[in-house]
Structure 1
């Protein structure tokens, strides 16, 4: 096993667990995109069997039939192939952590990641074999949680997890405070870290939004119009509450001067703003123009129709951006928790 320190004495993380964890993050967001397209186009039942595809092994299905066949088949089988690729990378991540990662708890995390991707695959398969809309809703709600789990894996295996990097970021923030004149030159005090609950509040609200969105997206035939209207109202209200909260969180992260915290917080403001715009577009695509927009030219001629390419990307982008907000909230929570652990508990056993 290689030394966990470089020649300068700084703690470093093994290369392959870090690379594979980042690969998982890079792959899972497109997987959520493609899964969203499957739901947008109602293509979930275009392949009636599972785990195979029309009797073929998943990996042996004829390439020409997949690429040149109906679009519903293309995205559904593509979603399965991408999910299988994520599963193989998760297996590689587990093997890499078991062989080279000295922290056993990271290996346990890799086991959880693998079990989670298997669970997602089983949920997707049961949704097909049982043709259950509720399972599709659950599958859509657990996918973003798996994305957040992969972000955690990438954080704890990355170089920014090391105590030296955290202390360096804190020192840089101290220097920036001194340059502004808020502290006496030469002082070594570190700006206090924001309270750890803020990113978790963001995470909670973002996940509530995902659940509400899944209820609207997979609305059951038995759902009452009044219940649907209340869900829409709550969904919109929580969206604007989340946007205001991202500004508050950014302000608190910026006060400590740590760019590893303030930059993701600034990104969240942008992502939630984009999400609100995509939400308005999604409503127009699915249900027509809201009442306050019906005075605009062309709005009175709107007809509900099958979704075109742009329509589908607006709706799916709304879904995928919600998962991205959850992932960035997770990144912020993990980094802030690590900063607290290093600065306030230097003898912590969590390395």
Structure 2
């Protein structure tokens, strides 16, 4: 090997598998958290970080609402532990990993602690038993808690993508940069859609327009306008259409890129988009059944995560096959900035 040649990339298969495990655990946490919110069990305990002043509150398994909320807290603690282990493991192996791995792991670590604090503030600042003037603050923290869960998910997804054995095998094509740009734009739109959806959900505006695709009076645009109706219309019609167009354009661009490792997540993204649209319609038609509503939330997170995953892969530069190479050609940090 000459000095001009780069050292071979050292694979870390067990670290890559563990990163995927953390991604799966995060999806489980989002499902449990979503179902807790849908069922109205978010304030089953009025204190935090303890539950009724205890780590193991009496009767929590027998009471459905307490079981949901305490189960959510236990799952959150498990995911936090997994993220800590993932960060330490990544830090110890940093010499053999792509340069983006440690910063992503550090962000995931900060993110999981931030999410826990937001969840605690969501409980502490709840207007239940507090002056009504705090209700806006409490709702804000509920929305932030829901949205930040999506950010944390995408941080661990991005880290899993970088740690994957596929990462050093990617051979970038000229079309990659176009896929990456459209991918990050699409991810931004999906996140805005998720924020509007979370706000609508926590304000109880999910059925402000109780029919779909037409409004109750048979039109396309609602005749009555208020904050709840306009928020619902923005989420279920305007942003839904905008996201659909961008996802399809992104999938098409990835499919014609000539790289099968971009084509596969693009096909998955299309399938998730179709499922999301169908679930959204059935949620309205059947008046927000709890399980289907929660699955709609989780599938929305999957759409966001898959879009970010595709954008991360497309941001891969052929010049960085090993951790010892210059980071000047590595566009992931630039793309996510």
Compute the TM-score of the two structures, normalised by the length of structure 2.
Answer: 0.79
Distance apart, 1:14 and its partner CA: 2.7
* Residue of structure 2 in register with 1:43 after alignment: 41
* Residue of structure 2 in register with 1:108 after alignment: 103
* Residue of structure 2 in register with 1:258 after alignment: 259
* Residue of structure 2 in register with 1:214 after alignment: 198
CA contact (8 A) 1:191 1:257 kept: no
- Among 67, 75, 80, which residue is 1:82 paired with? 75
Q: 1:129 to 1:192 in 2, by over 3 A?
A: closer
* Residue of structure 2 in register with 1:177 after alignment: none
Distance apart, 1:117 and its partner CA: 0.5
Distance (Å, rounded) in 2 between the aligned partners of 1:48 and 1:232: 30
Larger deviation: 127-136 or 100-109? 100-109
Look at both structures and tell me which one has the larger radius of gyration over its CA atoms.
Answer: 1
| Counterparts of residues 140-159 of structure 1 (less than 5 Å) | 140-159=146-165
Distance (Å, rounded) in 1 between the aligned partners of 2:243 and 2:319: 27
Instruction: Give yes or no for the alignment of 1:324 onto 2:325.
Output: no
* Residue of structure 1 in register with 2:290 after alignment: 312
| Counterparts of residues 328-343 of structure 1 (less than 5 Å) | 328-339=306-317
CA contact (8 A) 2:105 2:156 kept: no
Distance (Å, rounded) in 2 between the aligned partners of 1:81 and 1:232: 33
* Residue of structure 2 in register with 1:175 after alignment: none
- Among 49, 53, 56, which residue is 1:55 paired with? 53
Distance apart, 1:246 and its partner CA: 2.2
Distance apart, 1:220 and its partner CA: 7.2
Distance (Å, rounded) in 1 between the aligned partners of 2:78 and 2:290: 25
**1:56 partner SS:** coil
Q: 1:13 to 1:252 in 2, by over 3 A?
A: same
* Residue of structure 2 in register with 1:249 after alignment: 250
**1:66 partner SS:** coil
* Residue of structure 1 in register with 2:117 after alignment: 122
* Residue of structure 2 in register with 1:239 after alignment: 240
Q: 1:323 to 1:340 in 2, by over 3 A?
A: farther
**1:159 partner SS:** coil
Distance apart, 1:152 and its partner CA: 0.8
Distance apart, 1:49 and its partner CA: 1.2
Give structure 1 stretches of 5+ with no counterpart. 1-8, 171-189, 287-306
**1:338 partner SS:** coil
Compute the TM-score of the two structures, normalised by the length of structure 1.
Answer: 0.76
Distance apart, 1:31 and its partner CA: 0.6
Q: 1:199 to 1:66 in 2, by over 3 A?
A: same
Q: More helix by proportion, 1 or 2?
A: 1
The CA RMSD over aligned residues, in Å, is: 2.5
Distance apart, 1:227 and its partner CA: 2.0
CA contact (8 A) 2:12 2:165 kept: no
Distance (Å, rounded) in 2 between the aligned partners of 1:34 and 1:244: 30
Q: 1:36 to 1:192 in 2, by over 3 A?
A: closer
* Residue of structure 2 in register with 1:226 after alignment: 226
Distance apart, 1:18 and its partner CA: 2.0
